[in-house]
Structure 1
């Protein structure tokens, strides 16, 4: 299946000489939820803005559902919905007229039933006649999402969509995202809440200093890069580790009352089996054990740190 978004050799250098993107290659699969992660200033918003036709690239090519974003701008843009970070809309218009007008900008015929469904899905129906200026920040964010979906795009960009919104809206939004994906819409999101990416995304891309440093299936990424820890609660505290255990990544914790073994998934079976045998040979006994695994946030921080 052809990717719904194809980015090839994309670069952006501003007049000041700042290079925001450096020869980015990226493909987004049709119907997936793709999370783009990166620290502030990494190039996430610049990349999204170029794909959405808001910023002109210096070099490279972007195809949106087969349409080149510069030469075939109208067709490409009609495929895309964008929810930007900033809440930009006419403060004195009503919710209903704002969303309806946004649909009309793309040459779509009026469809009151569709607008009604959108507003109900986003818990905005009771506010349909309210002016935007009278809404809370969370409600304004919902309006931005309704505007982005009003022309029925097949690609939806969510740029930090839950920044500064309440827990209820976050839950509502992710329920809507799941429904959209089930209907065939491709979702690309950036977020500072890495737990959201860990829960929602099919694939993860990491960008740092204008370069894509990793694109991986979420499950595979966590399997390959996720570190695990085995913590043993010792029967008797220890002050130092015996020399026979020097080959393991071991550390004493809680004043010697716990022994922590750090390992990767490749060494999971053989490493733990060998360790437990060597502990028994060394006369070290334990009362309890537990395991933990690094989160996507731990992996992300590690990747960016290594890149720097």
Structure 2
């Protein structure tokens, strides 16, 4: 922490661990307390980074007790899990240090915001995990919300992935994060059609790569995709070679033998789309979901396909 603060503020920073006893409840004295001095100002930083269930209201109430006992200003060392949490801390006037890059010390007139984090959150395109969370909310009812932990479990996403995905969707203005007991819930900012329309420019093509194999080569679970899936939901004629989709991380991918479709019987071939996220989570009736399917045709200029996609999404 000392080195990071010196880099940010360009001055010498003194740091010392506070070891004296405080006339406070035991749970408050068990936290690590760091005394900091810079620019001639002394203050204390209380480490609550691992206390994920500590509310902002409790932090503000305990801050007053710490300041009375320590006789100096107090800030918290926190782990920011969302932009909304950062904004709530600022709104409630709770000083905090979340390194790297997010520092709110109003008693010193200091506010630093991590520019790299914001650029990442407001990226021009969604990350694969972000698109998964987007789709999960898209296919829910308009009034519904879900706990981030539930979304993570349902989509098999790591805690860091759901945190980044939620932050990106929030920065895009598509969702809001709200406190629900001791957890964070997420919900759409718009009804389904508006939600999709506002997100269209951010959506990515989920297809990483397309390979062609012999149909009889290996048996694996897949979902109808591409023009094959679109033809099942519109008047579009099916392609000569059937198309399907699987997640690029499936073990079976390494066992697939690629062939040249030009030298094979089309009826004996299968085009396999390797997806950046698992189509299983949103597939319906053996096909990839409609919005992801539409995204796979982002660079397609065939008018027949454009019309078919519009018809499919209008039904959605």
Q: TM-score, normalised by structure 2?
A: 0.29
Instruction: Considering fraction of residues, name the structure with more strand.
Output: 1
The structure whose Rg is larger is 2
Which is bigger in relative contact order (C-alpha 8 A, separation at least 6)? Answer: 1
Q: TM-score, normalised by structure 1?
A: 0.30
